[in-house]
């Protein structure tokens, strides 16, 4: 099984590879400079000097007078010059092998006899170094009159760059020190938050959703930290909602189950004074069962809406007619509370939506407004059309809702006055369902509460467009 390579190990491998590549590049670059600059310059110089000497040489190499210029040249020049009249004599003056081979081979001999020069480079064991030289023919009246051999021992790479290498070492040391500091800084800044993020992820996996990462950085690591914080915050909120939901569910179920259990026990043991009292117990049990059914139905409906499992049957809807129909359904309830109703309805308002769901929105909002208002209060319902949307508003003169409660309106089981649960009825899911239906219609839901104007629910739905009417 292949060993797992961590991300930090991969980064370290890349850095070490880059470092090795840099060292190798420096080595080959120095060798390139040595061969392309130093050796080429030596070759050009020897070619130039040898050709010039061969073309101007007019002395007899066998006489003392003829060798004086050569001796003088050897004294002032870094090159060694040997002059012979026959090639065979050259081995007497230069009895060394180059690369363990004779100085002149058969091919060189033919080339020199034709008047061309020959360049020779290689290692001479006696000198313990490389040499570079050239054999140049001396021509007089287009005839061979002798040969000049010019050679020079080559400096090593270290000798050539003896002044540059210390500078390169100093610069290289400084470079790698700075590189080490940069890599160490990057290493710390990159892997420290990642390790912290790993630890926090383990905490989240254990159910601790309060862990947060430092997200002040403005790079990919910072983006990752912010994404992690968003995830943790979302999980924390979900966990909070789950606990609240469980608590609220238990609260909602406990009361009707207590009533059902108590009255059932009373009927079983005949703990009642009259048949009318027994009938009253049965009616109470029936009401509580209906409340439980309503609660279950609302929960299932809300889950379908929130999970987008419900498909809207959209069609052009005359919204005003739905509002009037809803008002008719709730007239009895308004009369019981002596509600003063004021309406301002734009009868031409049309939206593209599901008429059954839209009527559910109007019913829940008006019913909720009636339940949570004082006796003989005022209720205002308005519907108006703008250029882009249709705005529906319901305003009652009930108790003012605090800003803290307004922020939680529409959450599951939330009621602004939990003490009124038994008197006002309902499951606490009505506005949650309203918000989801409005969301599915691509609309907006807002709620405000002021001491003077009262509490207002505002729903804005997109107006039916020309393209929608064609489709």
- Listed in sequence order, the residues at least 6 apart from 244 whose beta carbon sits closer than 8 Å to its beta carbon are 411, 412, 413
pLDDT in the model for residue 439: 87
Phi, psi of 382, deg, nearest 5: -130, 150
pLDDT in the model for residue 134: 92
pLDDT in the model for residue 39: 82
- Listed in sequence order, the residues at least 6 apart from 209 whose beta carbon sits closer than 8 Å to its beta carbon are 232, 233, 235, 236, 239
Say whether pLDDT at 80 is over 80.
yes
> Do 343 and 327 meet the contact criterion of CB atoms below 8 Å apart?
yes
pLDDT averaged over every residue in the chain: 79
Say whether pLDDT at 344 is over 90.
yes
Distances (CA, A) of 196 to 20, 202, 229: 31, 10, 13
Give CA–CA dist 151/120, Å, rounded.
9
Of the two residues 51 and 228, the one the predictor is more confident about is 51
pLDDT, tens only, 195-215: 777 777 787 777 777 777 766
Chain position carrying tokens 């800003």: 403
pLDDT confidence of 431, banded at 50, 70, 90?
confident
Phi, psi of 84, deg, nearest 5: -135, 155
Sorted by where each starts, the structural domains of the chain and their CATH numbers stand as 7-160 (3.30.450.20), 200-309 (1.10.287.130), 315-470 (3.30.565.10)
pLDDT confidence of 67, banded at 50, 70, 90?
low
Which one, of 255, 212, 252, 216, lies nearest residue 234 by Cα?
212
> Do 413 and 285 meet the contact criterion of CB atoms below 8 Å apart?
no
Tell me which of 77-81, 160-164, 288-292 is least confident: 160-164
DSSP state of 387: S
What is the C-alpha end-to-end distance of the chain, expressed in Å? 61
pLDDT confidence of 422, banded at 50, 70, 90?
very low
Say whether pLDDT at 59 is over 60.
no
One-letter-per-residue 3-state SS of 399-440:
CCCCHHHHCCCCCCCCCCCHHHHHHHCCCCCHHHHHHHHHHH
DSSP for 50-82, written as a single string: HHHHHHH--S-TTSHHHHHHHHHHHHHSSSEEE
Which one, of 48, 79, 45, lies nearest residue 151 by Cα?
79
Of the two residues 255 and 129, the one the predictor is more confident about is 129
pLDDT, tens only, 302-311: 666 666 666 7
Give the mean model confidence (pLDDT) for residues 414-439. 65
The model's pTM is: 0.48
Most confident range (mean pLDDT) of 182-186, 308-312, 465-469 is 182-186
Percent of the chain with pLDDT over 70: 78
Give the mean model confidence (pLDDT) for residues 467-471. 54
- Listed in sequence order, the residues at least 6 apart from 168 whose beta carbon sits closer than 8 Å to its beta carbon are 26, 161
Of the two residues 171 and 106, the one the predictor is more confident about is 106
- Return the structure tokens found at 74: 């050897």
Give CA–CA dist 339/367, Å, rounded.
12
Tell me which of 109-123, 144-158, 198-212, 256-270 is least confident: 198-212
Give CA–CA dist 181/175, Å, rounded.
10
pLDDT, tens only, 366-394: 988 898 888 888 999 999 999 889 999 99
pLDDT, tens only, 276-291: 888 888 888 888 888 7
Percent of the chain with pLDDT over 90: 15
Tell me which of 87-91, 123-127, 234-238 is least confident: 234-238
Give CA–CA dist 390/394, Å, rounded.
14
- Listed in sequence order, the residues at least 6 apart from 66 whose beta carbon sits closer than 8 Å to its beta carbon are 59, 60, 83
Element (H, E) at 232: helix 220-268
What's the longest Cα–Cα distance across the chain? 161
Tell me which of 89-93, 291-295, 392-396 is least confident: 291-295
Give CA–CA dist 20/464, Å, rounded.
69
pLDDT, tens only, 437-449: 898 889 999 999 9
> Do 393 and 458 meet the contact criterion of CB atoms below 8 Å apart?
yes
Give CA–CA dist 15/261, Å, rounded.
74
């Amino acid at each position: 099984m292949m060993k797992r390579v961590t991300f930090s190990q991969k980064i370290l491998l890349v850095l070490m590879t880059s470092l090795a590549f840099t060292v190798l590049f420096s080595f080959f670059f120095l060798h390139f400079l040595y061969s392309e600059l130093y050796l080429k310059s030596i070759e050009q110089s020897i070619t130039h000097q040898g050709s010039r000497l061969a073309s101007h040489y007019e002395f007899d190499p066998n006489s003392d007078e003829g060798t004086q210029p050569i001796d003088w040249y050897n004294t002032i020049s870094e090159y060694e010059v040997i002059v012979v009249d026959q090639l065979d004599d050259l081995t007497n003056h230069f009895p060394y092998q180059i690369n363990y081979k004779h100085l002149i081979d058969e091919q060189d001999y033919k080339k020199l006899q034709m008047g061309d020069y020959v360049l020779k480079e290689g290692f001479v064991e006696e000198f313990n170094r490389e040499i570079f030289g050239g054999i140049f023919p001396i021509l007089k009246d287009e005839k061979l009159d002798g040969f000049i051999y010019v050679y020079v021992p080559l400096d090593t790479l270290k000798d050539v760059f003896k002044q540059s290498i210390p500078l390169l070492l100093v610069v290289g040391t400084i470079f790698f020190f700075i590189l080490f500091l940069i890599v160490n800084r990057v290493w710390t800044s990159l892997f420290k938050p990642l390790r912290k993020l790993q630890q926090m992820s383990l905490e989240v996996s254990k159910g601790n959703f309060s862990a947060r990462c430092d997200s002040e950085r403005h790079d990919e690591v910072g983006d990752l930290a912010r994404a992690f914080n968003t995830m943790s915050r979302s999980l924390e909120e979900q966990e909070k909602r789950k606990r609240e939901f469980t608590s609220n569910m238990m609260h909602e179920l406990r009361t009707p189950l207590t009533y059902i259990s108590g009255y059932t026990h009373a009927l079983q043991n005949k703990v009642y004074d009259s048949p009318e009292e027994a009938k009253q117990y049965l009616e109470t049990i029936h009401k509580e069962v209906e409340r439980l059914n309503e609660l279950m139905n609302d929960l299932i409906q809300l889950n379908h809406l929130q999970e987008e499992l419900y498909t809207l049957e959209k069609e052009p809807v005359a919204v005003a007619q739905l509002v009037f129909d809803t008002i008719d359904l709730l007239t009895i309830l308004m009369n019981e509370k002596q509600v003063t109703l004021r309406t301002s309805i734009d009868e031409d308002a049309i939206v593209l939506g599901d008429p059954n769901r839209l009527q559910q929105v109007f019913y829940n909002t008006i019913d909720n407004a009636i339940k949570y208002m004082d006796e003989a209060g005022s209720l205002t319902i308005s519907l108006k059309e703008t250029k882009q949307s249709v705005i529906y508003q319901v305003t009652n003169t009930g108790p003012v809702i605090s800003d803290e409660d307004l922020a939680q309106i529409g959450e599951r089981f939330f009621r602004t006055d939990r003490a009124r649960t038994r008197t006002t009825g309902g499951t606490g899911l009505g506005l949650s369902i309203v918000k989801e239906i409005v969301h599915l219609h691509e609309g907006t839901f807002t709620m405000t509460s002021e001491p003077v104007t009262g509490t207002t629910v505002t729903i804005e739905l997109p107006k039916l467009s020309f393209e929608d009417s064609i489709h």
